[in-house]
Chain A
Amino acid sequence: MNDAFDFRGAETHIEVHKFRAGAIVVTTALALLIQTAFPVYFSKAAILDLPLLITIYFGLSRRNPSTGLLLGAGIGLLQDSLSGSNVPLGLYGISKTVIGYLASSIGARLDTEHPAARFALTGSFFFVHQGVIVLTRRLLLAQPEQWLTVHLAIIAAVNSVVAVFLFALLDRLRRHS
């Protein structure tokens, strides 16, 4: 078995969460809407990457890499198309596809319900997400961009903190068996 590719094989006892009908679609739409509308009124809100947090949350909860990566690709492409013509379609799509896959795979092996685990995972995913974006920009778009800055680290921390509370809120959408 190849554990690097499919983490689910070793930890099959971890519960796969299901959500109320339409919860994923509505939550995703709301996240994208808030992401585009809030910075108009609160400029500081622009540092939040709600579509990323939603991708991570549903990836960790659903624990199915295929649905995780497809959800990530959809959210990323929608984010691309709402980001203006300076962001080519596929930039966020690729990075969120990777995040969706990784989150689902890790969620299948680890317990991701604890706030500390969620904080650490979100921070890690944020850096991976940023890494994929920088890689795509450098390799495919020939746009030089820094890998890591202090500002980026602060943004990662802020997103991680928000994620802890947001994930707790989203837990209420789960359907109990």
Chain B
Amino acid sequence: MVGIPSRHKSLVLLLGVVLLQVLLLAVQIKRDSQGRLIRVWTVGAVSPFERAGAYGIGGIRNTWNHYFALQNTTRDNEQLRRENDALKLQITQLQGKAAEADRLAALLNFRKSHQEVPMLSARVIGASADTASQTIYVDRGERDGIHKNMGVITPDGVVGKVIEAYSNTSQVLLLTDKDSGVGAMLAESRIQSPVGGTGEPLLSMKYVANDDTVNSGERVVTSGMDRIFPRDLPVGTVADIKPGNPFKQIRIRPSANLERLEEVIVLLTLRPLELKKEPAPTAPTAVARP
């Protein structure tokens, strides 16, 4: 047998080691295995040191960041505070815009669903200087076809009526004013009675007899008898009922948010209006009093 010369031994060893590893590769490819056992051992041996290193480096980083690298913290804090304030302001503005968009969308929907009624949307631009009177100013006037005594509503309900129309603006008397009133009726019992303002947030339903049954929370809608508002527009809900002499004292919470009006709809007609009847829910038959 021919021995391997000593100077070739390292070369033979090289070829052998490489060949072994090629075979190792081939086995992994053939069996689609990844030498899991060897990897588990190696990773298991290294991971405790890695974990210790991670704790060590984390500790060093924390120490550095919390005790030594604070020279810019005050400046960063001030900058972040300024940014925070600016962002808060921006959020408030965006919330306002979103609310405005919602209101405008509601107005648009309302107009679309009542196309038979000529109407015009208007923006509230001011309120009365007199604290005792409940009036507002809108940015539409005679040039837009608005006249005195036209009804003003929102998608939520009745707002009031126009008491003065100028060329570009109009003054609207709110339903809550003492001098204001609207022909109304209880939605379920169909008992009719005018609803007027009291100068306070709640309205008053004036002529309901003590014998009539009125439930708290019952809806109050327009009756159409005032020839300003069409029938069945929401006016409010019954908030409080007390027996009186000779009529009940009924307080109504307005459906429209009269304390926070921004956009309203002016009904551009002085003729009696009739809204399209929607299928009414199961309304109990009730006798409407004259």
B24 touches A98 (CB 8 A): no
The listed residue (B7, B22, B26, B50) touching A33 by CB distance below 8 A is B50
Q: Cβ of A66 < 8 Å from any Cβ of B?
A: yes
Nearest Cβ in chain B — how far from A61, in angstroms? 16
Residues from chain A with a CB closer than 8 A to the CB of B24 are 89-90, 93
A91 to B41, CA, bound (A): 18
Q: Cβ of B9 < 8 Å from any Cβ of A?
A: yes
Q: Cβ of A78 < 8 Å from any Cβ of B?
A: yes
A101 to B18, CA, bound (A): 11
A89 to B37, CA, bound (A): 11
A2 touches B8 (CB 8 A): yes
Q: Which of B28-50 contact A (CB under 8 A)?
A: 28-29, 34-35, 38-39, 41-43, 46, 49-50
Which of A35-43, A121-129, A152-160, A167-175 is found at the contact surface with chain B? A35-43
A77 to B11, CA, bound (A): 20
B42 touches A41 (CB 8 A): no
A91 touches B25 (CB 8 A): yes
- Given the known interface contacts A89-B24, A140-B26, the answer about A37 and B10 at a Cβ–Cβ threshold of 8 Å is no
A87 to chain B: closest residue by CB? B34
B11 touches A141 (CB 8 A): no
A89 touches B29 (CB 8 A): no
Q: Cβ of A112 < 8 Å from any Cβ of B?
A: no
B29 touches A37 (CB 8 A): no
Interface size on A, residues (CB 8 A): 37
The listed residue (A2, A90, A97) touching B7 by CB distance below 8 A is A2
B50 touches A89 (CB 8 A): no
Q: Cβ of A49 < 8 Å from any Cβ of B?
A: no
A66 touches B21 (CB 8 A): no
Q: Cβ of B14 < 8 Å from any Cβ of A?
A: yes
A89 to B263, CA, bound (A): 74
Interface size on B, residues (CB 8 A): 29
- Given the known interface contacts A89-B38, A98-B14, the answer about A73 and B21 at a Cβ–Cβ threshold of 8 Å is yes
Nearest Cβ in chain A — how far from B34, in angstroms? 4
Residues from chain B with a CB closer than 8 A to the CB of A64 are 10
B18 touches A94 (CB 8 A): yes
The listed residue (B13, B26, B28) touching A69 by CB distance below 8 A is B13
A65 to B9, CA, bound (A): 9
B34 to chain A: closest residue by CB? A85
- Given the known interface contacts A36-B50, A82-B42, the answer about A89 and B34 at a Cβ–Cβ threshold of 8 Å is yes
Q: Cβ of B53 < 8 Å from any Cβ of A?
A: yes
Residues from chain B with a CB closer than 8 A to the CB of A104 are 10
Q: Cβ of B69 < 8 Å from any Cβ of A?
A: no
Q: Cβ of B57 < 8 Å from any Cβ of A?
A: yes
Nearest Cβ in chain B — how far from A139, in angstroms? 9
A91 to B28, CA, bound (A): 11
Nearest Cβ in chain B — how far from A2, in angstroms? 7
Q: Cβ of B70 < 8 Å from any Cβ of A?
A: no
Residues from chain B with a CB closer than 8 A to the CB of A70 are 13, 17
B42 touches A136 (CB 8 A): no
A–B pairs, 23, beta carbons within 8 Å: A2-B8, A5-B8, A5-B11, A29-B49, A32-B46, A33-B49, A37-B50, A64-B10, A66-B13, A69-B10, A69-B14, A69-B17, A81-B42, A82-B46, A88-B35, A89-B21, A89-B24, A90-B22, A94-B22, A94-B25, A97-B18, A140-B22, A140-B26
Question: Which B residues are within 8 Å of any A CB, using their own CB?
Answer: 7-11, 13-14, 17-18, 21-22, 24-26, 28-29, 34-35, 38-39, 41-43, 46, 49-50, 53-54, 57
